Amino acid sequence: MTIKPHTNTDQPLSTAQISPPLFRQLLIVGILGFSAIWAIDAYSGIIAVFDAFSYPICITAFILIYLISFSRPNQQSLHYLAYLVVAGYLISCSIWHHLPGNGQFSNSAQWLGLNYVIVYLFLDVKKAAPATAIVFVATITGHYFALIQNHTTGEALVVTLNMAIAHAIYIFLLWTVIKLRVKTDQVIARADMLEDFAYIDVLTRALNRRGIEKVFNELNLDSAEQKKNYAIIIIDIDHFKQVNDLNGHLIGDKVLTSIAGKLSRTIHPNDILGRWGGEEFIILSLDRTPEQVMTLAENLRVAVSQLVIDDITNITVSIGIGHSHEASSKEAVFKVADDHLYDAKQSGRNTIRATQV
């Protein structure tokens, strides 16, 4: 398990990016949807001339976008293109059916609300907002000019004003839902951030003692059913008090952060690093043989000894190792490692102690 603090959550409204697999699934839904409506209209014998041409065009467009999506193009461009197909069809179909002589068997207007839902599904909110405005204007003005062909100006205006109010309400409600969703996501992100900070050492950015204990408990290291092979490595910076006394605490803090960074870069990605307190660090290494753990410890010791921090050289560490097979609980394994660390420090420091295999 890795605990990482979150970055700033006070960001503009955005929606989650649609992954390519999900986008392709939506395209398949579009293909099947158009095909089903086409089949129903054709079977019933009431298919409009416009739909007879537009259905196959839309289906073909979706199939092409689907195939192109596998070639790793700009995904946002594909989203725009797919939305253009949907919005273009819905608006033009509804306008066509409102022209004189084309109004029979028209179900087109009931689908126009999809334009506002789909735009926020496919596009980021910052891009979806202007697209929504364009679609809204195109829908209202297009229907007005279609209606005025066979109605008085007043009648056409009344119908389009009703449509404009209804669509404005659609947009407002959808925008409200998105704002609430994003606000909720931000609250959750902030809560996660505060929780994570409770487990992170502010100075070294490694897990703190509380974080280490949380990870140890979540891994259920002492489970009899899932007995795990692990090692606990305790690392203590030699003569760290002298570093603080001679160079000041600011340099001491720099030494701590540099060593933490070096340890983090040296261990395996699956290993868990934490600052146990003061100048002590702890590493939980999973599924390693004693020989592999010893090699890791030696690599850590050598890596630290090669550090030069503000002209400070000869920085060394003492290391104690405890293995899960040496004790019945993680607390007992830690005690084994701690005892070995004490031996390493008593033996002149800059050394590693572990039970002989």
Q: What is the per-residue pLDDT across 227-278, written as a single tens digit (0 to 9) for each?
A: 789 999 999 999 999 998 888 989 999 999 999 999 999 999 889 999 998 9
Q: What is the predicted pLDDT for the residue at 1?
A: 43
CA distances from 274 to 71, 74, 240, 309 (A): 43, 40, 18, 21
pLDDT score, position 234: 97
Higher-confidence residue: 236 or 109?
Answer: 236
Alpha-carbon distances of 271 from 58, 258, 287, rounded to whole Å: 52, 18, 10
Say if CB 327 and CB 335 are below 8 A apart. yes
Which pairing describes strands 352-353 and 317-323: parallel, antiparallel, or unpaired? parallel
Q: Which residues contact 44 (CB under 8 A, 6 or more apart)?
A: none
> Per-residue pLDDT for 5 more than 50?
no
In this prediction, residue 208 carries a pLDDT of 92
Q: Furthest-apart CA pair in the chain: how many Å?
A: 101
Query: 44: which 2 tokens?
Result: 């019933």
Q: What angle do CA 91, 93, 94 make, to 5 degrees?
A: 65
Structure tokens at 263: 């340890």
Examine the pLDDT at 14 and tell me if it is beyond 50. Answer: no
| pLDDT level of residue 193 (50, 70, 90 thresholds) | low
Euclidean distance between CA atoms 214 and 209, whole angstroms: 9
And the tokens for 187? 């609250």
* Least trusted range by pLDDT, from 176-180, 193-197, 332-336: 193-197
Q: Which two tokens stand for residue 194?
A: 């505060």
Asked whether the predicted pLDDT for residue 108 surpasses 80, the reply is: no
Distance CA 232, CA 49 (A): 75
Backbone phi and psi for residue 276, each to the nearest 5 degrees, phi listed first:
-75, -25
Alpha-carbon distance of 111 to 93, in angstroms, equals 10
pLDDT of 98 reads 83
What tokens appear for 343 in the block?
Answer: 């031996």
Reported as a single tens digit per residue, the pLDDT across 25-70 is 989 999 999 899 899 888 888 788 888 899 999 999 999 999 999 9
pLDDT digits (tens, 9 = 90+) for 282-334: 999 999 999 999 999 999 999 999 999 888 889 999 999 999 999 989 999 99
* CA–CA distance, 323 with 335 (Å, rounded to integer): 10
The pLDDT of residue 192 is 66
In this predicted model, which residue has the larger pLDDT, 236 or 185? 236
What are the beta bridge partners of residue 233?
A: 283, 321
Distance, in Å, from the CA atom of 86 to the CA atom of 77, rounded to the nearest integer, reads: 14
How many CB atoms are closer than 10 A to CB 83?
Answer: 20
In this predicted structure, what is the pLDDT of residue 106? 56
Catalytic residue numbers? Answer: 279
Q: How far apart are CA 219 and CA 211, in angstroms?
A: 12
CB atoms within 10 A of CB 218: 9
- Between 62 and 94, the higher pLDDT residue: 62
Residue 118 has pLDDT above 80, yes or no: yes
13: pLDDT strictly greater than 50: no
pLDDT higher than threshold 50 for residue 8: no
Percent of the chain scored above 70 by pLDDT?
90
Per the model's pLDDT, the better-predicted residue between 5 and 182 turns out to be: 182
